[in-house]
Amino acid sequence: MERTAKVAALQFNITLGDVDANVEYAREALARVAADGCQLAVLPEMWSTGYDYKRLNELAKRTPEVVEEMGRLSAQHGMVIVGSLPEPHEERVCNTAYILDRGKLVGKYRKIHLFSLMGEDRSIHGGDSWVVVDTHIGRIGVFICYDLRFPELCRRLAVEGAEIIVVPAEWPKPREEHWRALLKARAIENQLFVVAANCCGVQGKLDFFGQSLIIGPKGEFLAEGGYENCELTATLDFSAMENWRQQITCFPDRKPQYY
C-alpha cells in the first residue's frame, strides 16, 4: 500500500534570548505549513532562545511552557513537531529535541555530541541515549547539529527502524559544504529520508547560512532553503524508499561482526 507524508523544515533567524518573539514566529510558520498539508514540521536547534549562554539557565525555565504551546499547536494542526530547546538540568541545561505527535509528547532526545570548539560542553549537559519513536506518519529518529559528524549515531537510528531522520541545527559559516555533504551521506548510506532545519542570520559573532534540506534515500535533494527565512516542504514516498532498499540491499549485506 502506498504511504506518503508531506513534511516541512522551518528555517528562520532566531532572535537571541527572545522567547516570545521566537515562539510567535514558529506559531505563524507552523500555521502556514499546516495549511499546506504538512504532517511533520522540524524547527532549528535551540530555536526558542539561540545560544544565549549568559542567560541560558534562566531562559530554560520557560521551556516547559514552550513545550506546552508546541503540544497545543501539534494537536491543533494534527501534526508532528520536532525542535530542540534548552531543558533545565541541575546546574546546567540539556540541548533537548522534543517530539510532539498530535498533542502528545512521544519522546525527547538530549544532544550527545557537544561542540567543544565553541564551549558547548562547558554550559550544556550531554545526553547518553539515542531516540527513535513511532509517530502517526512513521518511525522517526533524531539527532542535533554536531551529531551529524558522527555517522555511528545515524546508523544506530537506521538499524532501529527509523524511516525519517530529523535534524534541528545551528550550523554556521564557513562550513556549508560539510553540512550538505554530510546530510546527503547520512541519507544515502542509511537509505532513508532526512529533514534538516538550520537557522539563518547573524547571532553575535556567528553567521548562520540556512540551506535547510529535505533529502531522499538515494541522496536526492527534495527541497532546499536559501539564506533567508523560509519554509521548505516535500512529500516523502515510503514505498519508493522500500523499493530502493530492495534494489540496493545494504542492510541485509551488512557484516557488523567485523567492524
pLDDT digits (tens, 9 = 90+) for 103-114: 999 999 999 999
Q: Is residue 257 part of a domain?
A: no
* Domain extent for 220: 4-251
Q: Would 259 be classed as within a structural domain? A: no
Confidence band, pLDDT 50/70/90 cuts, at residue 91: confident
Number of domains in the chain: 1
**Residue 81 pLDDT > 90, yes or no?**
yes
Query: Is 111 marked active-site?
Result: yes
What confidence tens digit (pLDDT) does each residue in 196-226 have?
999 999 987 889 999 999 999 999 999 999 9
Whether 24 maps to a domain, the answer reads yes
The pLDDT confidence band at residue 119, using thresholds 50, 70 and 90, is confident
Instruction: Say what the pLDDT of residue 1 is.
Output: 64
pLDDT digits (tens, 9 = 90+) for 133-188: 999 999 999 999 999 999 999 999 999 999 999 999 999 999 999 999 999 999 99
Please pick, among 87, 108, 120, 145, the residue that the annotation labels catalytic. Answer: 145
Residues 6+ apart with CB under 8 A from 27: 69, 73
Q: What is the mean pLDDT of residues 31-42?
A: 98
Catalytic status, residue 45: yes
| DSSP notation for 28-86 | HHHHHHHHTT-SEEE--TTTTT-S-GGGHHHHHTTHHHHHHHHHHHHHHHT-EEEEEEE
Which among 45, 87, 120, 170 is annotated as catalytic?
45
The pLDDT score that the predictor gives to residue 245 is 97
Domain annotation covers residue 256: no
CATH number at residue 230: 3.60.110.10
Region 74-98: mean pLDDT is 96
Identified catalytic residue from 87, 108, 111, 200: 111
